[in-house]
Structure 1
Amino acid sequence: MNGFRKMMTALCILALLGALLTACGSNSGESSSDGGSNNKGTAQGSTTVPPAQASDEAEETADGTRSYTDYKGHVIELSTAPQRIIYAGETIGDLIVLDAPIIGTPHNWVQGSVYVDRLKDVADVGFPINLEKALELQPDLIITGSTEEKDYEQLSKIAPTLMFDTFAPLEDRMTLLGDLLGKKEQAAEWIAKYNASTGEMWKELYEKGLTPGETASVFTYYPGDRLFVMAATGLSQVLYHPDGLKPTPAIQKILDDKKGFEQISMETLAEYAGDRIFILKAVDKEAQQSTDALFQSNIWKNLPAVKNNRVYTIDILKSNSDAATREWLLQELARMLQQ
């Protein structure tokens, strides 16, 4: 629909998901953004959600700069408190909640998001990043979710550039960004507040009617009549909180395989369908038509969740894995599940 990240990168490249269900952080050999989540284009094949990398290192020096080794091994010198940041990745919402000084980002990655209005004064650098535009903005730091070495080499000539693992867990990303941007305390406060809000939301929902052990599923269509079930990405990451709803056994297997999502057939839908079903509304017209056809099928109409009126829809562009979207999803889930 909230990871499908490498998926998101692929979507933007192939669509530039013509933008969840990512990347929204993003399988069956295909994956999204903690992803991100945009289906204007096609999905990327054979990727999984990688774990947080232990190679990220930063050491402050006496002149107000620091040496940092990103998760792909690039060693850079950057300011301890950068003031002009270009960010190209589907988890830009992480920087937004930290009030980071963002001066440029690809606009096509933020259209339709819950935070689009908060970036209206930020320059559009395109994707791949337009080198002339980036140079014109005079950044002191460029953060990219791309792992293309050619692009990295060009960007690093403009400003210190680091590759950022947007598929890493939310808390890991926020902690690292807080450290890199000179906002450690703000990042720690955000994490604590978010975790507390999440726990309170689920406690209240169970007090108001949810049944312990209830399962949930998240589905979306991509162009080409391709149906996906979401696992470790975007909205699913919020639903499958330890205090939240549970994945079905079939989805748990995808999670155990460390996949962001997996393509399935409509005939196997019942194997993945939970007590509650969430549909990520597609952007692409062909994907919308596939979704409408699913709703008219007997397979869909016979699902227990459908019969019990426990189906919910969310725009795929509002189901990403970033911090700002997570804040919104907590409020939206509380509203939907109390109806």
Structure 2
Amino acid sequence: MLRSFRGFGIMLVVICILLAACSSGTKEETTAGISGTQSEEATSTTKVEPNNSETKVVKDQFGEVTIPAHPQNLVVFDSIYAEYLIEMGVTPQIVLYTPEVEAEYRPAYFKEHGVQTIEVEQYQYNYEQLLALSPDMILTAGEGMEQGVYDELSKIAPTVALDANSEMERAMPKLAAIFDKTEESAKVLAEFEEKAAQAKDKIATALGDKTVLVLRVEHNRYRFMGPKGGSSSVFFYETLGLNSPEAIKDSTDWFSQFSLEFLPELNPDYIFLEDRTLVGYDTKKSMEDLKASQVWANLKAVKNDHVFPLKTSEFVSGVGPIGSVKLMDYVVGKLVP
């Protein structure tokens, strides 16, 4: 009888110990579960991380393309597009650029905004280099791009070839629509237009009906900028309101070739002279021939010392919200006493 009672007592103690252990484990697990839930809630109220798996469909030069809603490694081909994005509040991770033809201010500008710059050869596509960068999206200008090039880029990452050129008023709103920055884009453009209007008024007051020619010196040839040629023509002849020589007032070509014998017919009051910059390009002989010619020496602009140098990079790649203001200040500084 006593032995049975002792055995029952021992069994009762063992059961109590087991129940206590189970109860303790359940409490710890419950506490951990609550703690985890509270931590997740706290995180969600302090910082909302973008869902990197989200996508959206946009239209570009070649049709519709599915892109990440929040790209984490965006590679931009055109440095001017990168400037547009930054000024709208979108910072790309990588920008490709050719140092020889890049606007002087822009490398420091990109460094200031934490954008990695990758040097590339002008007009070349290094697909292996791009693949090594592991982009989750590629952005480039679509006008002038061949379908084959676009197809190769699309194999590396979703590629948006914007149906625009580098012109700010065309490209920026389309970029803004892709990145949901329409309001920011409108603000940047409005600020620029206000500065441009002030510059235009100053020039009109100072020059009246005097004419301005943008002359490009190239290897073995000369070209003039048409006032209705689009791209940079818009900046000089529409945004700043410069008057072109009468003989070319209806030219719709960005740049048209001409012979030196045509210069007296143009005979502008002011000339912005571009020494064309291209990788591996030599314009020395063409420039020497121009300045040694009698027709050049007899031009009004030359006689009055109204010929001003113009860098290719300043008006080809350097016409973003930052660069355009710099170029505008340069033009006003030369034309307005």
Counterpart in the other structure of 2:289: 293
Counterpart in the other structure of 2:64: 75
Aligned residues: 270
Please tell me whether the aligned partners of residues 73 and 136 of structure 2 are also in contact (alpha carbons under 8 angstroms). yes
Measured on the aligned residues, the alpha-carbon RMSD in Å equals 2.6
3-state SS of paired residue (1:263): strand
- Change in Cα spacing, 1:95 to 1:291, as seen in structure 2 (3 Å) is farther
Counterpart in the other structure of 1:134: 130
The gaps in structure 1 that reach 5 residues or longer are: 1-62
How far the C-alpha of 1:77 sits from its partner, in A, is 0.9
Match for 1:299: what amino acid?
V
Q: Output the TM-score relative to the length of structure 1.
A: 0.71
CA distance, structure 2, for counterparts of residue 125 and residue 168 of structure 1: 19
CA distance, structure 2, for counterparts of residue 80 and residue 212 of structure 1: 50
Q: What does 1:235-314 align with in structure 2 at a 5 Å threshold? A: 235-241=232-238, 244-255=241-252, 259-283=253-277, 286-314=282-310
The higher relative CO (CA closer than 8 Å, separation ≥ 6) is in 1
Q: % of aligned pairs identical?
A: 24
Match for 2:289: what amino acid?
A
CA distance, structure 1, for counterparts of residue 211 and residue 74 of structure 2: 41
Match for 1:222: what amino acid?
E
Counterpart in the other structure of 2:221: 226
Please tell me whether the aligned partners of residues 216 and 223 of structure 2 are also in contact (alpha carbons under 8 angstroms). yes
Indicate whether 1:87 and 2:76 are aligned: yes
Correspondent of 1:171 among 156, 169, 172:
169
Indicate whether 1:118 and 2:109 are aligned: yes
Match for 1:238: what amino acid?
F
How far the C-alpha of 1:101 sits from its partner, in A, is 2.6
Please tell me whether the aligned partners of residues 77 and 97 of structure 2 are also in contact (alpha carbons under 8 angstroms). no
CA distance, structure 1, for counterparts of residue 170 and residue 274 of structure 2: 26
Say which is worse superposed, 237-246 or 214-223, in terms of deviation: 237-246
- Change in Cα spacing, 1:212 to 1:169, as seen in structure 2 (3 Å) is same
- Change in Cα spacing, 1:95 to 1:260, as seen in structure 2 (3 Å) is farther
Please tell me whether the aligned partners of residues 82 and 181 of structure 1 are also in contact (alpha carbons under 8 angstroms). no
Counterpart in the other structure of 2:93: 103
Q: What does 1:179-190 align with in structure 2 at a 5 Å threshold? A: 179-190=177-188
How far the C-alpha of 1:245 sits from its partner, in A, is 1.4
How far the C-alpha of 1:111 sits from its partner, in A, is 4.4
- Change in Cα spacing, 1:109 to 1:98, as seen in structure 2 (3 Å) is farther
Deviations 1:237-291 (A, max 9, x none): 3221266211223322212xxx211111111122334221110123366313311
3-state SS of paired residue (1:102): coil
Say which is worse superposed, 307-316 or 110-119, in terms of deviation: 110-119
**Greater helix share, structure number:** 2
How far the C-alpha of 1:219 sits from its partner, in A, is 0.6
- Change in Cα spacing, 1:333 to 1:236, as seen in structure 2 (3 Å) is same
CA distance, structure 2, for counterparts of residue 112 and residue 317 of structure 1: 5
3-state SS of paired residue (1:221): strand
The gaps in structure 2 that reach 5 residues or longer are: 1-52
Match for 2:215: what amino acid?
F
Q: Output the TM-score relative to the length of structure 2.
A: 0.71
Report which of the two structures shows the higher radius of gyration computed on alpha carbons: 2
